[in-house]
Structure 1
Amino acid sequence: MINVIVVQASICDLTGQEIWTYELTYPRVIHSQVMTHRMFSRNASSTRAVPIKVAIQNLMSDPAEYIWTANQSGMQGNVITDPKVITEVNALHEFHMSSAINLAQYMGKKVEDGGLGIHKQNVGRYLEPFQNIKVVLTTTEIINWEWLRDDEEAQGEIAELARAMIKAREGIVPQALDPGEWHVPYVERIRNQEGVLLYSDSQSVNLTVEEAKLVSASSCAQVSYRKNDTSLEKALAIKDRLFSGRKVHASPVEHQATPIPEFEFDTITEWPLGVTHVDRNDVFWSGNFRNFIQHRQLIPNQNRTAEDG
């Protein structure tokens, strides 16, 4: 079943630019289409990270739902409404899903238990056509997504996802932010009587700005987990796994952002740290975020280029 939750929404007081973070559940078969939207920052549940037993439990409790369409020329089929055809195709689909589950159980079982002992990164692929995928997605460019995908020519499942995201936004007022105040998904924010933005974790523990960014990154990294632990304690426990190795796991720090401050931009040396480029409309960007500095762009060793040797 497609499910959409708005995790956090913010707006830059200087420019009016909005940034949105969603927690999405949708059929894995359309994930490649979502991935074509390169302006999105994403973390997604991974076949390589989820044990086969857990993957099967998740699949059986919430299998992906297909919108069946008729065979015809072109990329788009008309939605099938004939109850007889729908009943038959669903029965065939469920048969193949059961076969895939049995295959995965046998292949993934330890050799000493009568199986083949194949790793989940291989076995799990047989389950993917029937699975939903859980994704944390952050973007400043949601309008373009909605324009492209809330369309009758889009595949039915992705159009349904786009419409669900539009509906989820209804009635939500983004938190206004000044430079130095942060969009931090999964962290609670409240502005006190003095106008100071305060941060806290799921245990109501007050957080510094740096702790808030860490808790947010930790929570985004846990998208493969069935239950997300959004506490500071958990964030500190996985901090080293994310950032202390030779290669930084940088994707979870793409979701945190702060408005780009006003500055003189005649010379690049005057640009604030984290600003990566400017477009032809004199709009400043940080990675794939417009008018917001992305946390990832402030992390050392977050990317390697030819100039690094």
Structure 2
Amino acid sequence: MFAKVVAASRSLTDGATLYTVHLRAPRIVWGEILTHRVFSRNARSSRAVPVKAMLNEVRNDPFVPWHWTGAKRGMQGVPGHDKPILLKGSAGQFIDADLPVDPASAWLHGRDMAADLAESFLDSDYHKQVVNRLIEPYSWIDGLITATDWNNFFHLRDHGDAEPHLQDLARITEVALARARVSDLEPGDWHLPFITKEDWIYAVDFYPNFDQGADFLRRVSAARCARISYTPFDGQASYEREIERYNLLIQSERLHASPTEHQATPDRMAQSVTVVSGDGGYEERTEGMAYENAGLHGNLKGFIQARKLLPGEFVHG
């Protein structure tokens, strides 16, 4: 399990800070991460990863819980439970069905049975979107999360009431954010995960103006973010392949726009006047500062999200 900050940017407009984090976590906790609606996220998909790759992982590097908790009423178990388990049914190779085993050995026994069953489905030509579901409890998930608001996640998940593995993930993520190197951005500068200095040099050399180069790199960044669905970006891919991948996402009849939620630029602020009509015909005027493009922020604070610049990015109703 790990948390690695891919990009961190601070808006010089208002100080809002945007982080993109690559998480590797037990798949069993991902559903709880999805409840945090301030997160833009993409993650490894069981519909995208080849079955053989998933089987290789769960056989050689499976998720095995390191928190074992005993039964009690409610959502929190009793910590430190280590009662041996008497396996029911066919115990399988190397396990004596008449002897209780420790929880990790029992868990791996379940892994073996699930992996063998998944392989049987694969041999009968079933699709990975079905077969990989059998081994999900024993697998890891790579996820990419972009957000400006993290405090509520840490408040809820770095707490004794949270699922214990998710507590661990929250703590290492908080440390990763605290140690991240943050870049200051002006409006028009872009937060671009997986874009390197060499990528910027290429864009400046190849495109006649900054906006065209930034648009190209936004597309490349989105394509690299999308790769988390089957394997995290490893620095390898031609620009042509990345743009082809981006076009498959964005130029199809139905947009798959979530990878464009990780790219953003600081919004500007301008003087605003709010007028409220009162009784007797008078008007109450309130002056202050407001974002120029608040409707383009999506779930981010103070940043214009690239997704919101795409025509048809959302179907209403």
Q: What is the TM-score normalised by the length of structure 2? A: 0.81
Instruction: Give the whole-Å Cα distance in 1 for the aligned partners of 2:237 and 2:190.
Output: 17
Could you tell me whether the CA contact under 8 Å between 2:38 and 2:300 is conserved in 1? yes
- Residues of 1 paired with 2:291 and 2:149: CA distance? 22
**Preserved contact between residue 144 and residue 228 of structure 2 (Cα < 8 Å):** yes
Aligned-partner residue type, residue 242 of structure 1:
L
What's the CA shift string for 1:36-74, capped at 9, x where partnerless?
Answer: 001100001101111111111122332113121111122
The match for 1:15 is: 14
Paired with 1:286 and 1:230, the residues of 2 have a C-alpha distance of: 30
RMSD after superposition: 2.2
The equivalent of 1:196 in structure 2 is none
For residues 272 and 227 of structure 1, what CA distance do their matches in structure 2 show?
35
- 1:217 lines up with 2:218 in the alignment: no
Within 2, Cα distance between the matches of 1:64 and 1:73? 26
Match of 2:73 in 1: 73
CA distance in 2, matches of 1:232, 1:35: 31
SS of 1:205's partner is helix
The one-letter code of the counterpart of 1:179 is P
- Matches of 2:291 and 2:180 in 1, distance apart? 32
Deviates more, 1:61-70 or 1:228-237: 228-237
Please state if 1:160 is matched with 2:161. Answer: no
Q: Which moved more, 1:248-257 or 1:221-230?
A: 221-230
In the alignment, which residue of structure 1 is the partner of 2:249? 242
State the shift of 1:87 in Å.
6.0
Q: Secondary structure at the match of 2:269?
A: coil
Equivalence for 1:303? 314
What secondary structure sits across from 2:104 in the alignment? helix
Cα 1:175–1:231 shift into 2, 3 Å: farther
Q: Are the counterparts in 2 of residues 218 and 230 from structure 1 also a CA contact under 8 Å?
A: no
Q: Which residue of 1 aligns with 2:298?
A: 287
Contact 2:267–2:291 (8 Å) recurs in 1: no
Tell me which residue corresponds to 2:96: none
Question: 1:170, 1:61 → 2: CA distance?
Answer: 33
Aligned AA (1:259): P
Q: Quick one: structure 1 residues 26 and 87, their matched pair in 2 at CA, closer, same or farther if it must change by over 3 Å?
A: farther
Match of 2:121 in 1: 107
- DSSP-derived class of the 2:15 partner: coil
Residue of structure 1 in register with 2:153 after alignment: 145
Measure, in 2, the Cα distance between the counterparts of 1:100 and 1:52.
13
Tell me whether 33-42 or 142-151 shows the greater mean CA deviation: 142-151
Query: What is the CA–CA distance in structure 2 between the aligned matches of 1:227 and 1:32, rounded to whole Å?
Result: 20
1:23-38 alignment to 2 at 5 Å? 23-38=22-37
The reply on whether 1:64 has 2:68 as its aligned counterpart is no
Structure 2 residues without counterparts, runs of 5 or longer: 86-99, 205-212, 275-289
The count of residues paired between Structure 1 and Structure 2 equals: 277
**1-side partners of 2:237 and 2:174: how far apart?**
26
Q: Normalized against structure 1, the TM-score is what? A: 0.83
What is the rounded CA distance, in whole Å, between the counterparts of 1:158 and 1:295 in structure 2? 29
Give the distance between the partners of 2:25 and 2:238, measured in 1 at CA: 26
Which residue of 1 is the match for residue 182 of structure 2?
A: 174
Report the Cα distance in structure 1 between the residues aligned to 2:316 and 2:44, rounded to whole angstroms. Answer: 27
What's the secondary structure of 2:173's corresponding residue?
helix
- For residues 230 and 242 of structure 2, what CA distance do their matches in structure 1 show? 14
User: Does the Cα contact within 8 Å between 1:4 and 1:164 map onto a contact in 2?
Assistant: yes
Structure 1 residues 265-308: Cα deviation after superposition (integer angstroms, max 9, x where no partner): 448xx9745x32xxxxxxxx7110011111100011111113xx
Gaps of 5+ in 1: 110-115, 190-198, 277-284
Q: Percent identity of the aligned residues?
A: 32
Q: Which residue of 2 aligns with 1:205?
A: 202
Deviation at 1:211, TM superposition (A): 1.4
CA distance in 1, matches of 2:128, 2:77: 34
SS of the residue 1:7 aligns to: strand
Q: Within 2, Cα distance between the matches of 1:60 and 1:260?
A: 48
Q: How does 1:179-190 map to 2 (within 5 A)?
A: 179-189=187-197
Query: 1:14 Cα shift?
Result: 1.6
Contact 2:76 2:161 in 1 (8 A): yes
Q: Does 1:254 align with 2:265?
A: no
